Each structure stands twice: as C-alpha cells, then as structure tokens.
Structure 1
Amino acid sequence: MAFQPSRRHLLMGAVSLAAAQAVSGSALAAPRRSAPATPLRWLDGHKPARLEGTTFGVPWPRGALRPNQAFSIRDGSGRATPAQSWPIAYWPDGSLKWSAHAVTSDAALDGLTLAPGASPAPAKAVKVADQGQQIVVTVGDLEWRVPKSGDALVSGATRGGRPVVGKLSLVALSQDKPELEAGGAVKSSRYGVRIRQAVVEQSGPVRGVIKLDGVHTDGTREWLPVSVRLYFYAGSDAVRIVHSFIFDGDPKTDFIRGLGAVAETPMADESYNRHIRFAGEDEGVWGEAVRTLTGLRTRANPAAAVRQAQIEGRAVAFADLPDILKNDGLQWVPEWGDFSFSQLSPDGFTLRKRTSEGHAWIDSNAGKRSRGLAYVGGASGGVALGLKDFWQRAPVALDIRNAHTDTAQLTAWMWSPEAPAMDLRPYRSANGMDTTAEELVGLDITYEDYEAGWDDAHGIARTSELTLWALDATPSHADFSAMAEQIADPARLTVEPARLHMAGVFGEWSLPNASTPIRAALEGRLRHLLDHYLQEVDQRRWYGFWSYGDVMHTYDPDRHMWRYDVGGYAWDNSELSTDLWLWTSYLRTGRADVFKLAEAMTRHTGEVDVYHLGRFKGFGTRHGVQHWSDSSKQPRVSNVAYRRIYYFLTADERVGDLMRELNESDYALQNVDISRKLPPAPGRAVPEGQVVSGFGTSWGAFISAWLTEWERTGDRRWRDRIVNGMTTIGGMKRRWFAGEAPFDLATGRYQGQGDYVAVSHLNAVFGVAEMNAELLDLLDVPSYRRAWLEYCRYYNAPDNDIAGLLGEAPKGRSLTEAHSRLTAYAANKEGDAALAQRAWSEFLGKDPTKLQALLGARSTTVGGVDVLRPIQEDAQVSTNDAAQWSLAAIENLALIGDSLEEAAARLGYRP
C-alpha cells in the first residue's frame, strides 16, 4: 500500500515548497537534470544482524529534484521497503539539495537503492497522538505514554495492554565538595527531572520524534537544563534516547556525583523465571536468574532440560522442579535483587551482586571493555537499557535494583556514582599572574592564554545516546549480543564517496587516486595520518565523559607523551580545523573508522568546547589543559563548518540544534573582546551596535551558521546577511588584506574604508577557505570573488609581488603549506598554469630529500623502561600540521591535480 501522508506531512510539504521558493525568489522551475538512482551501503560494509531503524542523509545535484520529492528504497529484487523521507536542505534555485530518510528493521538487507518514487507503509507503523496532557506513541501492540510535563520522560509502556515498562526518569546526584576530607562532611543532594515542554517533531509512519525540555530539580533548586529526544521506529521494540544537559552550576561547590536514566519494569514472574543480562567483552554475554536453579546439591538439582531453560531465559514450570524445591525448598535458595556493572576506566569493568539493600555485595565477574547493555525482566518480558560509547565514556555503570520485588529499576549511569565526583574546577590558580603583561609572558612560555575567571565550565554541555527496549520475553544470548552491537556500533546507511562527490557538495575535494608514484605517496601520507590518530586515541586513552572525541594538540618526544599538561599544547579543541580534516577524509574514502572518530569529535567539540549559556554563550574555548581552561573564547571553535557535514549525512537533530543556536553568535562579540590583549589597531574603536570582527576566524565562522540555516530553511535573511558581508569586504580598499573591520550587528555589513593592512596566518585556516569555496559556487558577488581570489593569489606570493599590491610585504604570513590551497584555488578559477606550479612548490617544498622523508615517515615502537607501556610513536606529527597538511593535500589534488606530476618532476622527486 502506498504511503498516505498525514495532514502534518502535507503541511511539511507545503512548508518545504515555500522554503524552496524563498531560496530562489520565485516558484521552482522544472528540474533541469535527472536524479540518479542511488545505491546505498552499510557504513561497516555488511548488513547488520539486528536493526531498530536508522536515519541517513543523501545529497542531490543542483536542479535535479523538487523540494517535496517522494522517495522509494528497494532491495535487490525490486521490493520496496518502508521509508520516511523529508528535505533538510535546498539549493539556491529551490531544488532539493539534501534529503533525509528513515527506514525500519526491514531494511537490514544488501543491495538497497534509493530513487524517486512511492514508499509503502510499514506493517507496524508509528502513530503519534497528542492527547492533551500526554503524547501516546503506538508501534504495533506496543504503546508508549509520554507526559508533556512532570517528573518522567515516559510514564509507562504496555504490550497488548500488559504493562512492560514503568516510569522512565532522570536522576542527578551532587555534593558540595569533591571528596570527604578528614574531620569534614559532604552534603549530598538528589535531583529528578521536571519536564516543561514536549513537542512532536515527527509523527510517523516510519519514525516518530518527540523533544522534551526541562531541568533537574530536588523540589527547591532547579539546575542542569536538559533536552531529550525520543525516537520511535516502525516495527521496533525500542526507543532511542538522545540526552543533552548543560552544566550551569558553580564548579567550586557543585560536584556531580551521578547522572543517570532510570527505567522501571514490573516483575510478575516467579523469581527463578526472572533474568538478568549484561553485555561483556566483544560478543560476550553474562546471564543469570534472580533465583538460580543451577549448582545446587544433587537432590535439589533440576533436570538438565530445566537448567538449560533457565540459562536461556525460557520459562521453567513449577511442576518440573525437584520435589525438595517444590516442598518449600525454594525459599532457601537466595534471591539476588541487586546487580552493579561498573566500568570506571576504559580498560576494566567489574560485576557485583547482592541479595538486597542492607547486605554485602559479592564479586561476580570482571572484564575489560563492555558494549554497555543490561536487561532485567522475566520470561514474560522486561526492559533492556544501553548506553552508546560505554567504555569510551568511563566512568559509567549499569545498575539493577529490586529485581526480587514487584518492580525493578534499571539505571544507565552516564557518570557512575561509584567514581569520584565530577570536578569542573579550574586546574590551576593565577600563581601571581595578575596583569595582562604577566599573562602575555605566561602565554609566551606555556602557550596558555590564562586569565583569572575565564577558565569557567559554566555553560558547557554533553550529549549521550541511550536505547531502551520494551521486550515481551527475555532475549536469548545471541539476540542480546546483537542488541548490544546496535548500542555500541549502530548500523548506518550511507552512499559511496563517488555519489557524494557527484552531487557537488562541501566545496573542493576529490576521490583518492594513487595512479602515479607521487599521487600514491601523497595518498599514503594521508592514510598514515588518519591511521596514526585512530591508533593514538586508544593507546593514549583519549577517553572519558568530557574528553572522548577530542585529540591532543602537540607531542613531547622527550617524554614520549603528548603535552597534556602544558598550557595551550594539550587538548586540541578544533584548532586549525581538525574536525574538517576528518570529515573531508571520510567524504573521499568512506572509511567507517574515520566516520566514527569524526562523529565522536563532533559530539565532543560542539558540546564541551562551546558555551551554551552564560556570558560566553555562542563561543568556544581555544586549546588547553582543560577543554574550558583557556581564556581565549572565540567563534572559530564554535564553528558550524565543523558540524554541518555530520548533520547532513545523518540528519541528527541535536547537532541541528547546536548549529541553529549559533545563528546570532556574532552578538557575543559584545560580551567578549577577542583582541583585548593585543596592541591597538586601526578600526578597533566602534560605536554601540557595532563590534570588531575578523574576516576569517570570526566572520568565517558566522557565515557557516548563516549558510547552513539558509540551506535548511530557505530564509533569505541569512543569505542577505552573508551577501552584506561579502559586498562590504569586497568594497574595501585592502579587501581581505584589511583582515578585520567594524561590523554592524543589525545589518551584517562591515564598516569603514578598510584602508589598512592586517594579515594573520590564522585568518584562512579555520574553515573559511572551505566555506568560501561553497559560497562562491552559490552566490554571485563579483567584488567579493575578486577580493578572495586576490587574497588567494597574493597571501603566499613572493615579497616583491605582494609589496606591489599592498605597498609593503606584510608580516604575519606563515603556514605556507596550508595556504598553498588558496594559491591552488586562484590557479584553478583563473586558469593559471604557472600559479598552479607555484602552489605545488609551496606545498611540496623545494627539497626533494625532505619531501621523501615526510612522505615515507612511519611510526616506530618505543618500549622498555622509557614508557609506561609499549607504544607506536611518530614524534614528528602535530595536530595542527596533520589537519592543515591533509586539507591542503586533498584540496590541491582536487583543484590542480592535473599538474602534480609536472611539479614533482620539476622538484626532482623520485619515490
């Protein structure tokens, strides 16, 4: 049966068409190109053993499809699988740029193809009904009740009218000191959740989405704002939970001891028919009953078939028990009601259990890295709850309580209360650094831009992903293991890199090509850098609740360590576009491991490194020992350019929220003077309503938010704001070489003549080169095009050439390799073969021996007493260089790749 759109879907279609017309300024013309049938592939290269539904994005060539295009997904035999599709971005002419698609478990197949067409309705469709005080979501015989306010995310769920899930709620534990000191006392508090708003964002038939916003409260204090999305898929027993919170406490007195999601389930089966499951290492499963029937003395030991049934989680009949147990003997077999599965480090978990509160815990088992899933229930059903990135986010835990009573509780602890309390205080004191002059001396020594009071965690956030299953039976070990795999490594559909490239999205990049020796060497270096950082994440243990997803900035070969404790050399915090390097690398290679590292980085850098409320809202923090410790708060870190690729590939609503909240981050320049420690420069004194804004590190970040919002909504005010900036930069005397100017917040226009020269090596290395490549493909602003091409041609130019343009050879020009991609861009757009050779010379260098050493570099083993444990080391790698060299290589190959072999021959490079 063809999908029959609801009134809401018809309204969405009308909104989509209106948005597309707003982009183009008129009704959408007929598509000029045919839309390609698009083969889909599983990110990991094989169909999943289990699928609870998934969502993915696909780009389309400009002019190929109308914005309200319907789609069909078919398997290799031509059978259509249920799918739900919607637009998430438009081209300037109003045609569809990106579509999002949700599929059910029926799509766990190979040979899937996406094309325009009709989609069948799912057999167990998602239905979302607003019933006033609550929202009811129905998936087959499973009904979820979501209150619009109160102390629960879900008030309950039933299967065929039988309760299977009780309340799903949140809990936060805090204390007023980090630890108990001798002779002291610690005051602790427990907070539940208060939901203030519930919004239905999608209502089926394949996917339903509800967004809940609220705070944590103990009835007196309200803090820790929380936003939760619940995702329901047709045919699935599960609800995916995306949980985000903001830390808005005082780091000196508010120490989070625990942060969790608690699911209740009724326990009606006999205690010997109640079961516990935990995911262990790899595919391993630990399973026991609340009251075990195995291991008893001979007279009491049930038959092998009975014991096997209990091990497998199948119902055991009372009549099949030995007489001694049936004759009141069962009461002497202990009931185990509480279980604690704790992963306090990325390298080890422990499992304990006890009969009930007030009694001792006993050790049960232990291991290394768990996939993070637990189950409690009976043979007739129960709940499973899991946490993605479980061991990577340690300290975490899964706790089961009261499994021997009428109601059990299963808690997924995003921060385990068994660990030390979360300590967000500054890692250092001023140490006499009381003046700006002293701070600048400190900066010169440790690379840390310290300023008292600016190393504040107030306003940072974190997102966690959980899944809750409402099951009608205890899962088999095999099924439970497949569920754990979906928690740890969710199945994703995507398209081939060549298909992404064909759509013409995300600027200038090309597919790998190792057809000549120099190309093979460049591709080898690109692979080595990716492999190196993937390896470093694990061998350096770059894990933890606040840190997983980030990488370090600079290596210390003397210690065989990264400079984790040296000022601005520690956590990278997106410095010089690490995120963009990883995402561009994924686009061209399709590597699953690169996607997962980039995804973790997007989750981290968009949440932890950025302020979401308070005086720094909208800005991110420069690289440092703590993610929030450096006093340099800038939009170059909160840059949407680092999030948008993930958003369009996945249609992830949380990242969509994060991008949208930055639409007006330019106003934050009123609160933070980025240049406050620098000597006075032309144009820095501005009237009210204006701010000083750099073209690259500030405006370059703002335009990424505005472009994305224009693409997503068709709202022309964001397009016009971009054009105002482009036009006024293009009209200045020194154009891009002015570097910065007064910026009018009301209009988005730069002010003044720009008749000065202010060059910074950082202006073009925080995503603006890539954003300009997209903008100049979408918007025709001739004066700005000339200004950018001029900057691209002359930034790396010989002193005499740039002095001829500006009257002087300005200081501040460095990062020659990185800026070679600007030279290449000008060479490509102006068809200048000589300039292309200059670009390759800037990138490859002038010494073939040094180039050979760079391209042939590999890791070496360091062991023995020099290190804590044996490591693979490449002591020459730094993250700035890795990111910028890789981006330059990728873009140069795309822009001027046809002249690479000539450049290598001129250099005398012989691999």
Structure 2
Amino acid sequence: MTFHSRRRFLGAAAAASALPAFVGEARAETANTGQPAVRLSPTVLRWLDGQPPARFEGATLGVPWPRGAMKPGAKPGQALRFAIAGEGGHLAVQSWPLAYWPDGSLKWTAHAVAGGRPAGYMTLQPGATPAAGTVSVKQGTSQVTVTSRDLVWTIPTSGAHLVTTASRGGRVTLRDLRLVALRQDGPEPEGAGTVTRQPFTSRTSRVTVEQTGPVRAVVKIDGTHTGHGRDWLPFSVRLYFYAGSDSVRIVHSFIYDGDPARDFIAGLGVTATVPLSDASHDRHVRFSGEGIGVWGEAVRPVTGLRRDPGQAWREAQIAGQALPPLAGMAKAVQDGLQWVPEWGDFSLSQPTPDGFTVRKRTGSGRAWIDSNAGTRTNGLAYVGGASGGVALGLKDFWQRAPTQLDVRRAASEAAELTAWLYSPNAPAMDMRSYRGLDGMDTHEKQIAGLNITYEDYEAGWDSSVGVARTSELQLWVLGGTPSHEAFSGMAEQVANPARLVVAPQRIHECGVFGDWDVARADTPARKMVEDWLTFQLDQYLVEREQHRWYGFWSYGDVMHAYDGDRHMWRYDIGGYAWDNSELSTDLWLWYSFLRTGRADIFKFAEAMTRHTGEVDVYHLGRFKGFGTRHGVQHWSDSSKQPRVSNAAYRRIYYFLTADERTGDLMRELLESDADLHKVDISRKLPPSAARETPSGLVNAAFGTMWGSLVAAWLAEWERTNDPRWRDKIVNGMESIGRLKRRWFAASAPYDPRTGKFSGPGEHVAISQLNGVFGVVEMSSELLTLVDVPAYRTAWLEYCRYYNAPVKELVGLLGKDPGGRAQEDSHSRLTAYAAWHERDRALALRAWRELLGNGGFLTRERTRRVDGPAVLRPLVEQPGIGTNGAAQRSLAAIQNLALVGGSLDEAMRAAGILR
C-alpha cells in the first residue's frame, strides 16, 4: 500500500463499513464514526494579507470544527461563548452557529471581531467569556436606532432614507442616506437625437434587524427605486455596525427589472447629506489618489494666494485642522479672504480602469476646472470640517469602472456626498442583447449557428431582466477632517478590507469540503505538480490585468477560450467568451485558496463569487434560479441551467466569511427544481436523445442538474440542521442507486416534490459534463455525512469505470456507449475509487490518466508578444483555456489528497522522474 500514508491506511481500516474513511490525510473525528481523532491545531486567527492593517474597522470570519468536537449549545442565530486573546488582552468578539454536523455538533462558527487597534497575533478560545462590545440596537415601529459609543444611527422603517440621521457626540453629522438612480429612455444618440433622464430614489418596504450586538449589529433594508409614478430596480441593502469602528459597512444589491429597449441606467449611487457649520476655509474635501496618495483641498483655500497668511495658517489648512484665530493672520489676507472663491463642487471620475480625473467648480452653472488626474484610485471621498464630516468609499472602484465620487454644495449649509456605483458621466448602461435574430428563426438554423460560434442562441432567451449586482461600500461619520495619513489608511480599508482567516492546516484538520490537502512540495514529484498549479493560477492573475477583465457587470469573471491568432481571448465569439463558471472555475479558485492561504487567490475567488452568483444567475422572472451558459454577454446564451447557479460555487466563501448576501443567494435556489419544467434544457439535443417523461416529472441529469441542486440543500441542512433537506438529498441518492444502470444511466425522470428519480434506468448514457459541475465534490462530502450504501456503490462503480479500458467498460455495461472525454480531469474519479477500494493499481492508473494528457505538467511556455501585433505588450500562454485549467487543477488537487503517496512511483514509471 504505497499509494497512501500508513496513517491514512490505519484510519481507513478503522472506519465503520457504513461510513468510509475520510479521504484527506488529516481529519478529526469522534468515536461515534469509528474513526480516530486527529489532534486539532490551536485556532490562530491570522491576517489574510500577512500583516496587521493600518486601520481595522471590524470583520467577521467563519471557523470550522471537527465532527463531534463542539456541542451546539445554541440554535441558529443564538450566541455562543468564545473569546479572542490578542496582544495586550482579550478582544471583543460576538459568536454564533453557522453550520452543524449531522450529529448536531458545530461544524462552523461565525465570529465578529470588534474594530480598533489590530493585534498581530490572536487565538480563538471556546467557552471563555468574551470582552464586552459597545453596539446596541433599539427597535421601534417607525425606526431602528443603533448606538456605538458616541455614535447614534437612526434607521427609518419606511420612506426614502436608509438612515435619517447619524450623530456623533450629540452633533448630527450625517442626514438622509439614500439610494439614487437615473433612468435614461434610450441609448446615447448616434448623431442627431435626444434622450431624457429621470431621477429615482430609494423607498423602503421592509427593515429587518438580523443582529443586535454587542460587537456587530446588522440591519437589512429591502425596497425599490421609485419616481415618476413607477417602482423598479428592487434592492436589498445591509448595514453592518461594529464596535470600535466609526464606520458602517454597506452591502448594496439590486436586480435589473427594466425593459432593456427603453430602461437604460444612467447612474446608480449611494448619497448622503452632510451638515456643515464651519467657516468655508475650515471645510475640506479629500479624495484617495494613486496608491497611498491623497488629494485634499479646502473649500476656500488660504495657500497659494498672492499674500501669505502665515505658516501656521497654511499648515493648519493642509492638515485639515481649524485655522488659528484669523485675527493673527496677515492683515492683507484677512481683508481679502472674502474675495477668494469658494469651491462648492468636486468630482473624481474613473471612466476606465486605467484613468481617473479630479475636477472642481464653484457651483452649479459654472465651468469645471481640471485639477489633476491619475490611473487608479481606491475610491474614497470625504467632505466636512473641523467639527465633523463624512467619508464614503466604494470597493473595487477602478475595477468596476465607470465609477465616480461627487461632492456637491460644499460651500452651503449642507453638502451632498455621493458614491456612484455607475457613473452618470458615462454612456448609459446598455442591457440590450448584443445581436439580433440574424436569420436564426428556426431550430435548425440555431443548431447551425451553435456549430460555428458555440453560441446557443434563441430569440427572447438572451434577456438581461432578472440579473443582479452586489457592491460594497464603507461610510465613516467622523469628528473632524482626517489627516492625509489617516485618510490613506481608510482608503486602503475600502479597497482591501482587512480580513481574518484561519490557516489551511487548521481548516483541513476539520474534514470540511471533501478531498483536498494542504499544498506542500516535499517530494520532487509533488513539487512539479504544485509548481504547475501555481503557474496556472498566476497566469490567470496576469490575464485579468493584461486583457482588462473589468467593468460593472464583468469584474470577477474570466474568459473561456483563447484565440492565439489574434492574441486575444475570444470575447466576441459566442460561447467562447465569458466563462460563467463553466467547468467549475469557482471551485478551482476556492480549493486553491484552501490549500495555500494565498491572499491574491482569495480576492480573485471573492470577486468571482460576487459576480457569478449575481450576474450570471436570474433572480426574478421566468428564468429565476437558473444561470446562463458562457457567452459574449453574461446573459446572452439561451441555455439556462442550474449548473451555473450552483450553490457549490458560493458555499466555500459563505462558510469562510459568514457573508449574509451569499447566504441569501444559496437560499434562493432551494426550490428552483420546481421550475425545471419551465426550461427544457434538452430542447436543442437531437431527437434520438429525447426521452419520454411522465407527467409532473422532468428528465434531470445527475451531474449538471441534480448535482448542482443538491449543493443548495446541503448548505441549508448544514446551516439549519433541518432534516427536510437531508431527506431530499437522501431521496435522490437512494433513487439513483436503485436504477439498473445507476450513475451510468446519466439521467432519469425526477420529481421535484420528493427529490426522487424514478423509472427502470436501464438505458446507458455517458456525458463528460456530468462530472465537472461540482457533483464530484458534493458526492465526496455527502458520503461522509449520510449512510446511503446504494449510492456509495453506484458512485464508486462510476468512478472506477468512467476511465476504464473499453474492454472493462463493455464487460460492465454490455456495450461501449461512447461519450467519454476529458480523461485527465476524470482521473480524480479513478483516484476516489482507488482510495476507497484500497487499490494500488487503480491509484497508478489515476496518475497515468492525468499525466498522460499533454496539457498537464508540460507547463507550456509563456512568451512575450509586443509591437504592432498587439494592443499592448502581453505575456501569452498560447494554448491556455479555462476549461482545462480549472478541471486539470481540480483533478490534481483531489488526486494529491487521495493518492498522493503514489505520485513519485507514477512519475518514475512515466519517465518524468528518474
């Protein structure tokens, strides 16, 4: 048994027959599973970026626990007792259950950590008394009041405002926080012509207090944008308040529900009124600049004048402090100060990812004056004075361009501060289809088009109605104008929020998320595989930048396939353009982070989760609950499937962060199988592939449909311990296991009411797509959570025979059904069977299947391409493709975890190692 370690073999041998050994190399278990416990490492909280941040506004993280190790002690939403010990004492923390094991023990806990001075080293301690927090919530019929130290936020339960007032030390520093939108009735005119714009503002329909402190309070506000006799653009906004913080975190989500032909979004923003009482020379505006840079000026400057006011006055204004008494100022400046213009309006516009401009003017109806410009900014603005002010920032500011920050009427009694999620100075957002019917008016013509452009086009199925987008903002209520240094730290917090995480080894020890292990390069063979995995990840980071995968709707996604002739990704060729989670790109990134703890991969995966769960999925209308296959636009392909809306692609992020919005998205999918009959996914297949389905049932593929739906049910069962979802999962597993051909039937009539498949299942069909949309990962987890012998038999059979030699497959099925492909990515099925059946020869076969493909380990050289052949110099990997990168990487990750001990032997046999 050289293909796995002695420790893993002994652990497997001790496993109960009904519950197979965990496939990772280290897993903590309890006696009720029959598996030996693994010593759990201390729960050390570390900063994602490696070092404490300059500023910490509070954060929330998820922490896993081995099965049976932590008794629940609380129901969902109830408090748990944990403490965080850091440098200088205990930190305030608020804890609650996030997920449960089947035995009711805690699987994941969530922990909100108070803001303040960040510690470099922290440990989480169960059962201890946490330090006290300072956040409290008072609920009334007309308003909710959140108090944190000297900050008081008033949130109305109805009306136009998210926050009516925010007071600091008894002074109202912010008023009327609200959402704004601009509707344009047509696209930008081409030549002559006009369009009109209409303003809309938020209207609250429901306020829900989700947490009440003492460290974190969360208030969810639902509503629509209203104006001109119409409600549209439904929104959901969460406000997060942390003890020790002067800010509120805002998570803003909206759904596009307009008519793409006439409802163009010309601006989408969050705005607040800032009362001003200081003299105009003591009022200040700040914008974040490039890097750590800051642009800061006064409404009425006293520097640069013909007459010098004196050093003390100049230094005070540059620092954002109140000027010394004017009586001591140079008399010429005293007498002439009234003639110095007051600058009331300021604007930072980021129209593209590569440039921003700063302008100002004295007021409405006056000319704008160019101030300065730069490339990329962190997206934070401030307006206020010595007695207080407000800062508002937008995460992913330049990545989501066109964006904008505006200050208006700073010379009046109240300024307006707006963060534009979509800039009103950019061309209006165009949600129409990029193409017309173009003669594809019959099924045959649509198939012909699919065969040339890989786009599954069908008129009316390329609608953007129902897609959504989530943005994150940070808003500070301050007692004075921040220094340039403090403001720079705030801007970094906006662009790169400080995150706490636990180490990969600590996560792995808990046995969560199936088959993976911690990255290590302790043998020559493992080093070769790890180097290849790193190379692929690094190249995609390069690709995002050099091909500018940015923009309001697109940031977070990657492209599908590359065109080496043009040195471009195939952005304009049907189904080869945006990837839309095809072949589990999201899982590749998340498992890569779990193994490595790399901050850049976490942020890459986070941006993808924010994109794919919102933009690539419909949240209302006839396609609600389904996602769109890869295409030129994120909604352009007519194939609407649960394989894209798959909760498996959001679940890891949810448990690592306890992010409520991601939790909402997974819950949206719980009943989506009831709508499978609305979207006939097989309608483009040849007639011979169609199958008769009894009334009330739908023909559902095991991998692309059931395997995608089961992820949402698993997440809900974990989150609530509600057996209803466990039962629905088990119904599907048992019924697949009862079919004559089990997994090799590929699909069967499915009843959404029960989650069961039916029919004899005697036909044989193999689809390479069945195993590449998360069902491999789901099956690995489910078989450690529930005891379904029939499904285990069916799955192990499929794993052993999918890549088996034709003779063996014919011996099992009586014929060769064809349809097998992607031998390398399916090698992880072979590895799974090898580990669970203790089969060394099968383990070596798994590595041959992966290593034998030319795309793996060849590490195709990159090359620099420059000159007139390309728009800009780039580093190109000519044969790159996201399907291969994602699936080969996932296969390598799972193979290392399952049969990594046989890798050196396999490489020597293949002549790769000597």
TM-score interval for Structure 1 and Structure 2 normalised by the shorter chain: over 0.9
Q: 1:158 aligns with which of 156, 167, 187?
A: 167
- The CA distance in 2 between the partners of 1:205 and 1:858, in whole Å, is 54
Aligned to 1:245: 254
Q: Structure 2 regions of 5+ residues with no counterpart?
A: 1-31, 74-79
Aligned to 1:819: 826
Aligned to 2:295: 286
Aligned to 1:255: 264
How far residue 811 of structure 1 moved from its aligned partner, in angstroms, is: 1.2
Structure 2 counterpart of 1:294, which letter?
Answer: T
Aligned to 1:829: 836
Structure 2 counterpart of 1:386, which letter?
Answer: G
SS at match of 1:152: coil
Residue by residue over 1:421-451, the C-alpha shift from the partner in whole angstroms, topping out at 9 and shown as x without a partner, is 0001100112111111111111111111111
- The CA distance in 2 between the partners of 1:211 and 1:116, in whole Å, is 29
8 A contact 2:84–2:130 mirrored in 1: no
Kindly report which structure 2 residues correspond to 1:705-784, keeping only aligned pairs within 5 A, or say none. Answer: 705-784=712-791
Structure 2 counterpart of 1:466, which letter?
Answer: L
Aligned to 2:524: 517
Aligned to 2:668: 661
- The CA distance in 2 between the partners of 1:513 and 1:295, in whole Å, is 59
Aligned to 2:332: 324
Aligned to 1:352: 359
- The CA distance in 2 between the partners of 1:352 and 1:73, in whole Å, is 46
**Aligned: 1:73 with 2:84:** yes
How far residue 686 of structure 1 moved from its aligned partner, in angstroms, is: 2.7
Aligned to 1:5: none
Kindly report which structure 2 residues correspond to 1:369-408, keeping only aligned pairs within 5 A, or say none. Answer: 369-408=376-415
Aligned to 1:12: none
Aligned to 1:11: none
Q: 1:802 aligns with which of 797, 803, 809?
A: 809
- The CA distance in 2 between the partners of 1:144 and 1:368, in whole Å, is 35
Aligned to 2:12: none
Residue by residue over 1:668-706, the C-alpha shift from the partner in whole angstroms, topping out at 9 and shown as x without a partner, is 212100001113457833344311111000000110000
How far residue 67 of structure 1 moved from its aligned partner, in angstroms, is: 1.5
Aligned to 2:125: 115
Aligned to 1:174: 183
Aligned to 2:582: 575
8 A contact 1:121–1:205 mirrored in 2: no
Aligned to 1:194: 203
Aligned to 1:413: 420
8 A contact 1:433–1:439 mirrored in 2: yes
Aligned to 1:493: 500
Kindly report which structure 2 residues correspond to 1:600-749, keeping only aligned pairs within 5 A, or say none. Answer: 600-680=607-687, 684-749=691-756
- The CA distance in 2 between the partners of 1:377 and 1:831, in whole Å, is 69
Structure 2 counterpart of 1:268, which letter?
Answer: S
How far residue 858 of structure 1 moved from its aligned partner, in angstroms, is: 3.1
How far residue 864 of structure 1 moved from its aligned partner, in angstroms, is: 1.0
Aligned to 1:97: 107
**Aligned: 1:899 with 2:902:** yes
How far residue 187 of structure 1 moved from its aligned partner, in angstroms, is: 2.3
- The CA distance in 2 between the partners of 1:35 and 1:896, in whole Å, is 23
For residues 809 and 321 of structure 1, do their structure 2 counterparts lie closer, same or farther at Cα, with a shift above 3 Å needed?
A: same
Q: 1:138 aligns with which of 137, 143, 147?
A: 147
How far residue 837 of structure 1 moved from its aligned partner, in angstroms, is: 1.2
- The CA distance in 1 between the partners of 2:718 and 2:863, in whole Å, is 46
8 A contact 1:684–1:742 mirrored in 2: no
Structure 2 counterpart of 1:90, which letter?
Answer: Y
8 A contact 2:832–2:898 mirrored in 1: yes
Structure 2 counterpart of 1:510, which letter?
Answer: D
Identical residues among aligned pairs (%): 63
How far residue 611 of structure 1 moved from its aligned partner, in angstroms, is: 0.3
8 A contact 1:451–1:631 mirrored in 2: yes
- The CA distance in 2 between the partners of 1:35 and 1:832, in whole Å, is 29
How far residue 134 of structure 1 moved from its aligned partner, in angstroms, is: 0.2
- The CA distance in 2 between the partners of 1:335 and 1:762, in whole Å, is 64
How far residue 76 of structure 1 moved from its aligned partner, in angstroms, is: 4.3
**Aligned: 1:309 with 2:316:** yes
Residue by residue over 1:762-799, the C-alpha shift from the partner in whole angstroms, topping out at 9 and shown as x without a partner, is 00000000010000010100000000000000111111
Aligned to 1:185: 194
Q: 2:442 aligns with which of 435, 444, 447?
A: 435
8 A contact 1:281–1:367 mirrored in 2: yes
SS at match of 1:643: helix
Structure 2 counterpart of 1:96, which letter?
Answer: L
8 A contact 2:224–2:231 mirrored in 1: yes
The structure whose RCO (Cα within 8 Å, separation 6+) is larger is: 2
Q: 1:276 aligns with which of 271, 281, 285?
A: 285
Structure 2 counterpart of 1:285, which letter?
Answer: V
Residue by residue over 1:830-879, the C-alpha shift from the partner in whole angstroms, topping out at 9 and shown as x without a partner, is 10111111111111118xxx58x843433211111111111000011100
For residues 149 and 166 of structure 1, do their structure 2 counterparts lie closer, same or farther at Cα, with a shift above 3 Å needed?
A: same
How far residue 33 of structure 1 moved from its aligned partner, in angstroms, is: 8.6
For residues 177 and 231 of structure 1, do their structure 2 counterparts lie closer, same or farther at Cα, with a shift above 3 Å needed?
A: same
- The CA distance in 2 between the partners of 1:230 and 1:825, in whole Å, is 44
**Aligned: 1:584 with 2:594:** no
SS at match of 1:519: helix
How far residue 122 of structure 1 moved from its aligned partner, in angstroms, is: 3.5
Q: 1:44 aligns with which of 49, 59, 68?
A: 49
8 A contact 1:733–1:755 mirrored in 2: yes
- The CA distance in 2 between the partners of 1:680 and 1:635, in whole Å, is 23
Aligned to 2:225: 216
SS at match of 1:771: helix
SS at match of 1:723: helix
SS at match of 2:273: strand
**Aligned: 1:86 with 2:96:** yes
- The CA distance in 2 between the partners of 1:273 and 1:509, in whole Å, is 58
Kindly report which structure 2 residues correspond to 1:447-462, keeping only aligned pairs within 5 A, or say none. Answer: 447-462=454-469
Q: 2:305 aligns with which of 296, 302, 321?
A: 296
- The CA distance in 2 between the partners of 1:688 and 1:236, in whole Å, is 58
SS at match of 1:787: helix
Q: Structure 1 regions of 5+ residues with no counterpart?
A: 1-26
- Tell me the TM-score normalised to structure 2 length: 0.94
**Aligned: 1:129 with 2:138:** yes
8 A contact 2:697–2:751 mirrored in 1: yes
Structure 1 counterpart of 2:128, which letter?
Answer: A
- The CA distance in 2 between the partners of 1:588 and 1:696, in whole Å, is 25
